Structure 1
């Protein structure tokens, strides 16, 4: 087996490692229902995910009757409370994700999660799914402080620092499904891979990633090629 070119591989969570759309839809519709608004369909919610819960709800309110700051202030805490109690009812890893994590581990690569979901939710979700032990770092949208979530490079830099503190050296890459992910990786100076099966807000080709995959079966070969080309 040839040496794998990346010692650290980071992953976005929602729409990349996990299909969390069912639980995010339920939480958003809970808040919209409290606001007396029409509810969203399962496909519509997928285009609203990626920028954090507040951004997701803002889009839902805008689409269902218009954004109102007072309504947001009233129902946003209700969304968070509902999601906190119901975040793993429907969420599951995408096909092939766990096998890919296993293969990266066999190759000595540390893996991490960098998400715009609140850290407490990301940790709890992964714990409830029995996956938290797999990751050298789990970094949320609030981990680095206000203004330092993706697309800022700060969470990617923190991911690398935490992995290197555990003995990982060498190069890092990042895998995601949104413009936030790809820009964060670019701003941090590392290569990125976009997944076409994620919660896309735009055509995957427009994200500007260094590579695109259509399934997890393609990730390790893609990273191997990417590591030799960059």
Structure 2
């Protein structure tokens, strides 16, 4: 099928493609424990994700008594080592995602990932989920000198996937700001890791389940000039 309105659909990773909160929480709490701090809840972590692993640790320290950059530097490798070893213990795709990805592929759409997660960790997670052949591009938080909400990583992901008309799928204000900066429509999922009410994300459209993604993109394609 060649009449789909988008050539490339790019996705955020954590909170958009996958519910990684259980494994991120375990890694964060491991690092906090090593630093003598109490654990934080998975629900709290859901509102801390989106700016990369170092920012997650910084927020975890802030929530448990604060900490300076030296403490972040001490805890960061502890977090990374544990998380890499347990990156897909309980991380799972959101319901309906893989069916939606299959439908996009059937329509000839190239799929890309644009995340603030470190590129190496992102690739490790994609491999663990068996998604090596699903995505034509992956740009992480350290792939370029800048990260989201700068639009450059999104532009790079789209270009690596072949270019053309594109849309971005995300779950946070970081994602909607990235799409706006890139001049692209943004579909925001309501079940992700947003740090604010989803109605405040200013996304082009909101979806409550991945079964709604294809119709939402088709409607966007009809409404937004090419």
Which TM-score tier does this pair reach, normalised by the shorter chain?
over 0.9
Q: For residue 21 of structure 1, report the CA deviation from its aligned partner.
A: 0.5
Tell me, in whole angstroms, the C-alpha distance in 2 between the residues paired with 1:179 and 1:135: 23
Query: For 1:179-207, what per-residue CA distance to the aligned partner results, in whole angstroms no more than 9, with x for missing partners?
Result: 11111111111110100000110011111
Query: What value does the CA root-mean-square deviation take over the aligned residues?
Result: 1.1
Q: For residue 153 of structure 1, report the CA deviation from its aligned partner.
A: 0.5
Tell me, in whole angstroms, the C-alpha distance in 2 between the residues paired with 1:139 and 1:42: 26
**Residue aligning to 1:30:** 30
Tell me, in whole angstroms, the C-alpha distance in 1 between the residues paired with 2:164 and 2:143: 24
Query: For 1:12-52, what per-residue CA distance to the aligned partner results, in whole angstroms no more than 9, with x for missing partners?
Result: 00000001001100110011001111101111110001110
**Residue aligning to 2:113:** 113
**Residue aligning to 1:194:** 188
Q: Pick from 209, 212, 216: which aligns with 2:206?
A: 212
Tell me, in whole angstroms, the C-alpha distance in 1 between the residues paired with 2:149 and 2:42: 26
Tell me, in whole angstroms, the C-alpha distance in 1 between the residues paired with 2:159 and 2:3: 22
Query: For 1:154-189, what per-residue CA distance to the aligned partner results, in whole angstroms no more than 9, with x for missing partners?
Result: 11110121122xxxx531000000111111111111
Q: For residue 66 of structure 1, report the CA deviation from its aligned partner.
A: 1.4
1:132 aligns with 2:126: no
List 4+ stretches of structure 1 deviating above 4 A.
Answer: none
Tell me, in whole angstroms, the C-alpha distance in 1 between the residues paired with 2:68 and 2:149: 26
- Which runs of structure 2 are paired with 1:1-230 in the superposition (5 Å)? 3-145=3-145, 148-164=146-162, 170-230=164-224
Tell me, in whole angstroms, the C-alpha distance in 2 between the residues paired with 1:153 and 1:70: 30
Tell me, in whole angstroms, the C-alpha distance in 1 between the residues paired with 2:161 and 2:2: 22
Structure 2 unaligned residues grouped into runs of 5+: none
TM-score of the superposition, structure 1-length normalised?
Answer: 0.95
Tell me, in whole angstroms, the C-alpha distance in 2 between the residues paired with 1:89 and 1:207: 30
Aligned residues, how many?
224
Tell me which moved more, 9-18 or 59-68. Answer: 59-68
Query: For 1:103-138, what per-residue CA distance to the aligned partner results, in whole angstroms no more than 9, with x for missing partners?
Result: 000000001111100000001101011012100001
Q: For residue 2 of structure 1, report the CA deviation from its aligned partner.
A: 8.2
Structure 1 unaligned residues grouped into runs of 5+: none
- The answer on whether the counterparts of 2:2 and 2:107 sit within 8 Å (CA) in structure 1 is no
Q: Give the 3-state SS of the residue equivalent to 1:10 in structure 2.
A: strand
